[in-house]
Structure 1
Protein backbone atom coordinates (compact mmCIF):
# COMPACT_ATOMS: atom_id res chain seq x y z
CA UNK A 1 0.00 0.00 0.00
CA UNK A 2 2.75 2.42 0.89
CA UNK A 3 4.57 1.88 -2.41
CA UNK A 4 1.81 3.45 -4.50
CA UNK A 5 1.48 6.32 -2.05
CA UNK A 6 5.21 6.89 -2.06
CA UNK A 7 5.21 7.25 -5.83
CA UNK A 8 3.13 10.41 -5.48
CA UNK A 9 4.56 11.83 -2.30
CA UNK A 10 8.32 11.70 -2.77
CA UNK A 11 9.91 15.04 -3.47
CA UNK A 12 11.52 13.94 -6.74
CA UNK A 13 8.49 12.01 -8.02
CA UNK A 14 8.57 11.14 -11.69
CA UNK A 15 5.90 12.86 -13.78
CA UNK A 16 2.84 10.71 -14.47
CA UNK A 17 0.89 10.40 -17.66
CA UNK A 18 -2.88 10.75 -17.48
CA UNK A 19 -3.26 6.98 -17.84
CA UNK A 20 -0.72 6.25 -15.10
CA UNK A 21 -2.44 8.75 -12.83
CA UNK A 22 -5.83 7.17 -13.49
CA UNK A 23 -4.48 3.71 -12.65
CA UNK A 24 -2.67 4.89 -9.54
CA UNK A 25 -5.70 6.85 -8.31
CA UNK A 26 -7.92 3.79 -8.70
CA UNK A 27 -5.36 1.71 -6.82
CA UNK A 28 -5.19 4.25 -3.99
CA UNK A 29 -8.98 4.44 -3.78
CA UNK A 30 -9.04 0.65 -3.48
CA UNK A 31 -6.44 0.72 -0.72
CA UNK A 32 -8.46 3.31 1.21
CA UNK A 33 -11.68 1.33 0.72
CA UNK A 34 -10.01 -1.82 2.10
CA UNK A 35 -8.20 -0.15 5.00
CA UNK A 36 -11.06 2.01 6.33
CA UNK A 37 -13.22 -0.84 7.70
CA UNK A 38 -10.20 -2.60 9.24
CA UNK A 39 -8.94 0.52 11.02
CA UNK A 40 -12.43 1.50 12.09
CA UNK A 41 -13.15 -1.94 13.57
CA UNK A 42 -9.90 -1.94 15.54
CA UNK A 43 -10.44 1.64 16.75
CA UNK A 44 -14.01 0.98 17.88
CA UNK A 45 -12.77 -1.92 20.00
CA UNK A 46 -10.78 0.54 22.14
CA UNK A 47 -12.24 2.44 25.10
CA UNK A 48 -14.17 5.57 24.13
CA UNK A 49 -11.73 7.90 25.89
CA UNK A 50 -8.67 6.35 24.23
CA UNK A 51 -6.57 8.85 22.27
CA UNK A 52 -5.42 6.38 19.57
CA UNK A 53 -9.10 5.51 19.02
CA UNK A 54 -10.02 9.16 18.47
CA UNK A 55 -7.09 9.72 16.13
CA UNK A 56 -7.83 6.60 14.09
CA UNK A 57 -11.53 7.44 13.79
CA UNK A 58 -10.69 10.98 12.67
CA UNK A 59 -8.43 9.49 10.01
CA UNK A 60 -11.20 7.11 8.92
CA UNK A 61 -13.63 10.01 8.60
CA UNK A 62 -11.21 12.05 6.52
CA UNK A 63 -10.40 9.07 4.30
CA UNK A 64 -14.11 8.44 3.68
CA UNK A 65 -14.57 12.09 2.78
CA UNK A 66 -11.68 11.90 0.32
CA UNK A 67 -13.23 8.83 -1.29
CA UNK A 68 -16.37 10.85 -1.96
CA UNK A 69 -14.47 13.59 -3.80
CA UNK A 70 -13.61 13.74 -7.48
CA UNK A 71 -10.58 15.56 -8.90
CA UNK A 72 -10.95 18.83 -10.71
CA UNK A 73 -10.20 19.11 -14.42
CA UNK A 74 -6.66 18.71 -15.67
CA UNK A 75 -3.59 16.72 -14.72
CA UNK A 76 -2.43 19.01 -11.85
CA UNK A 77 -5.82 18.72 -10.12
CA UNK A 78 -5.76 14.95 -10.62
CA UNK A 79 -2.31 14.71 -9.12
CA UNK A 80 -3.34 16.82 -6.12
CA UNK A 81 -6.37 14.59 -5.60
CA UNK A 82 -4.26 11.43 -5.82
CA UNK A 83 -1.73 12.91 -3.39
CA UNK A 84 -4.49 13.48 -0.84
CA UNK A 85 -5.57 9.85 -1.27
CA UNK A 86 -1.95 8.76 -0.88
CA UNK A 87 -1.66 10.67 2.40
CA UNK A 88 -4.84 8.94 3.60
CA UNK A 89 -3.38 5.56 2.64
CA UNK A 90 -0.23 6.27 4.63
CA UNK A 91 -2.20 7.49 7.64
CA UNK A 92 -4.53 4.49 7.59
CA UNK A 93 -1.60 2.08 7.37
CA UNK A 94 0.07 3.89 10.28
CA UNK A 95 -3.08 3.51 12.37
CA UNK A 96 -3.47 -0.12 11.34
CA UNK A 97 0.10 -0.86 12.42
CA UNK A 98 -0.26 1.07 15.66
CA UNK A 99 -3.57 -0.57 16.59
CA UNK A 100 -2.63 -4.11 15.59
CA UNK A 101 1.08 -4.16 16.13
CA UNK A 102 1.67 -5.65 12.66
CA UNK A 103 2.85 -4.47 9.26
CA UNK A 104 0.64 -4.35 6.24
Structure 2
Protein backbone atom coordinates (compact mmCIF):
# COMPACT_ATOMS: atom_id res chain seq x y z
CA UNK A 1 0.00 0.00 0.00
CA UNK A 2 1.07 3.56 -0.66
CA UNK A 3 0.49 6.24 1.98
CA UNK A 4 -0.93 9.50 0.67
CA UNK A 5 1.10 12.59 1.44
CA UNK A 6 -1.94 14.72 2.32
CA UNK A 7 -1.47 14.72 6.08
CA UNK A 8 -2.51 12.45 8.92
CA UNK A 9 -6.10 12.10 7.71
CA UNK A 10 -5.00 10.77 4.31
CA UNK A 11 -5.96 7.19 3.59
CA UNK A 12 -3.47 4.59 2.41
CA UNK A 13 -4.03 3.56 -1.19
CA UNK A 14 -4.30 -0.12 -2.03
CA UNK A 15 -2.84 0.14 -5.53
CA UNK A 16 -2.80 -3.63 -5.97
CA UNK A 17 -6.56 -3.85 -5.43
CA UNK A 18 -7.17 -0.84 -7.67
CA UNK A 19 -5.13 -2.39 -10.47
CA UNK A 20 -6.93 -5.71 -9.93
CA UNK A 21 -10.29 -4.02 -10.45
CA UNK A 22 -9.06 -2.45 -13.68
CA UNK A 23 -7.57 -5.77 -14.82
CA UNK A 24 -11.04 -7.33 -14.49
CA UNK A 25 -12.02 -5.32 -17.58
CA UNK A 26 -8.68 -4.83 -19.34
CA UNK A 27 -7.03 -8.25 -19.29
CA UNK A 28 -6.75 -9.95 -22.66
CA UNK A 29 -8.72 -12.90 -21.36
CA UNK A 30 -11.29 -10.80 -19.48
CA UNK A 31 -14.81 -12.17 -19.62
CA UNK A 32 -17.64 -9.82 -20.48
CA UNK A 33 -19.31 -8.84 -17.19
CA UNK A 34 -23.05 -8.97 -16.66
CA UNK A 35 -24.87 -5.64 -16.52
CA UNK A 36 -24.96 -5.82 -12.71
CA UNK A 37 -21.27 -6.68 -12.46
CA UNK A 38 -20.45 -3.88 -14.89
CA UNK A 39 -22.34 -1.33 -12.80
CA UNK A 40 -20.44 -2.43 -9.69
CA UNK A 41 -17.09 -2.35 -11.51
CA UNK A 42 -17.81 1.10 -12.93
CA UNK A 43 -18.74 2.51 -9.53
CA UNK A 44 -15.69 0.89 -7.95
CA UNK A 45 -13.37 2.32 -10.61
CA UNK A 46 -14.90 5.77 -10.14
CA UNK A 47 -14.28 5.48 -6.41
CA UNK A 48 -10.68 4.47 -7.02
CA UNK A 49 -10.22 7.47 -9.29
CA UNK A 50 -11.69 9.81 -6.68
CA UNK A 51 -9.01 8.62 -4.26
CA UNK A 52 -6.19 8.58 -6.80
CA UNK A 53 -6.70 12.05 -8.29
CA UNK A 54 -5.90 13.97 -5.08
CA UNK A 55 -3.07 11.53 -4.29
CA UNK A 56 -1.42 12.25 -7.65
CA UNK A 57 -1.95 15.98 -7.18
CA UNK A 58 -0.40 15.80 -3.68
CA UNK A 59 2.58 13.87 -5.02
CA UNK A 60 3.07 16.24 -7.98
CA UNK A 61 2.69 19.49 -6.05
CA UNK A 62 6.22 19.61 -4.52
CA UNK A 63 7.94 19.02 -7.86
CA UNK A 64 9.21 21.98 -9.93
CA UNK A 65 6.66 23.31 -12.43
CA UNK A 66 8.94 22.51 -15.37
CA UNK A 67 9.34 18.89 -14.25
CA UNK A 68 8.20 16.48 -16.99
CA UNK A 69 6.87 13.75 -14.64
CA UNK A 70 4.85 16.44 -12.84
CA UNK A 71 3.36 17.70 -16.11
CA UNK A 72 2.52 14.15 -17.23
CA UNK A 73 0.89 13.34 -13.90
CA UNK A 74 -1.22 16.49 -13.94
CA UNK A 75 -2.27 15.84 -17.55
CA UNK A 76 -3.39 12.38 -16.43
CA UNK A 77 -5.36 13.97 -13.59
CA UNK A 78 -7.08 16.27 -16.10
CA UNK A 79 -8.03 13.33 -18.29
CA UNK A 80 -9.26 11.36 -15.27
CA UNK A 81 -11.46 14.29 -14.19
CA UNK A 82 -12.88 14.48 -17.72
CA UNK A 83 -13.68 10.75 -17.68
CA UNK A 84 -15.32 11.06 -14.26
CA UNK A 85 -17.66 13.61 -15.82
CA UNK A 86 -18.75 11.28 -18.62
CA UNK A 87 -21.70 8.92 -18.58
CA UNK A 88 -21.69 5.41 -20.09
CA UNK A 89 -23.61 4.82 -23.29
CA UNK A 90 -27.03 3.12 -23.30
CA UNK A 91 -25.85 -0.24 -24.65
CA UNK A 92 -23.79 -2.90 -22.88
CA UNK A 93 -20.84 -2.55 -25.32
CA UNK A 94 -20.80 1.24 -24.82
CA UNK A 95 -20.94 0.81 -21.03
CA UNK A 96 -18.08 -1.72 -21.18
CA UNK A 97 -15.99 0.69 -23.28
CA UNK A 98 -16.67 3.45 -20.75
CA UNK A 99 -15.63 1.22 -17.85
CA UNK A 100 -12.49 0.19 -19.74
CA UNK A 101 -11.54 3.86 -20.18
CA UNK A 102 -12.00 4.32 -16.43
CA UNK A 103 -9.82 1.26 -15.84
CA UNK A 104 -7.05 2.66 -18.03
CA UNK A 105 -7.20 5.91 -16.05
CA UNK A 106 -6.98 3.98 -12.78
CA UNK A 107 -3.87 2.16 -14.05
CA UNK A 108 -2.26 5.39 -15.23
CA UNK A 109 -3.01 7.18 -11.95
CA UNK A 110 -1.55 4.23 -10.00
CA UNK A 111 1.59 4.48 -12.13
CA UNK A 112 1.90 8.18 -11.34
CA UNK A 113 1.41 7.63 -7.61
CA UNK A 114 4.21 5.04 -7.64
CA UNK A 115 6.53 7.06 -9.87
CA UNK A 116 6.06 10.35 -8.07
CA UNK A 117 6.33 8.70 -4.66
CA UNK A 118 9.66 7.21 -5.70
CA UNK A 119 10.88 10.53 -7.10
CA UNK A 120 10.38 12.24 -3.75
CA UNK A 121 12.49 9.75 -1.76
TM-score tier, shorter chain, comes to over 0.9
* Superposition map of 1:1-104 within 5 A: 1-101=18-118
Structure 2, unaligned stretches of length 5 or more? 1-17
* Structure number with higher relative contact order (C-alpha < 8 Å, ≥ 6 residues apart): 1
Greater mean alpha carbon deviation, residues 6-15 or residues 81-90: 6-15
Matches of 1:11 and 1:38, distance apart in 2:
29
How far off is 1:45 after superposition?
1.3
Secondary structure of the 1:12 match is: coil
In 1, the alpha carbon distance for the partners of 2:92 and 2:45 equals: 17
TM-score by length of 1: 0.95
CA RMSD of aligned residues (A): 0.6
TM superposition score normalised by structure 2? 0.82
Return the alpha-carbon distance in structure 2 between the equivalents of residues 100 and 23 of structure 1: 29
Task: Using the TM superposition, give the Cα deviation of residue 44 of structure 1 relative to its aligned residue in structure 2, in angstroms.
Answer: 1.7
Give 1:37 shift: 0.4
After superposing on structure 2, the runs of 4+ consecutive aligned residues of structure 1 that deviate more than 6 Å are none
C-alpha displacement of 1:31: 0.2
Shift of 1:23: 0.2
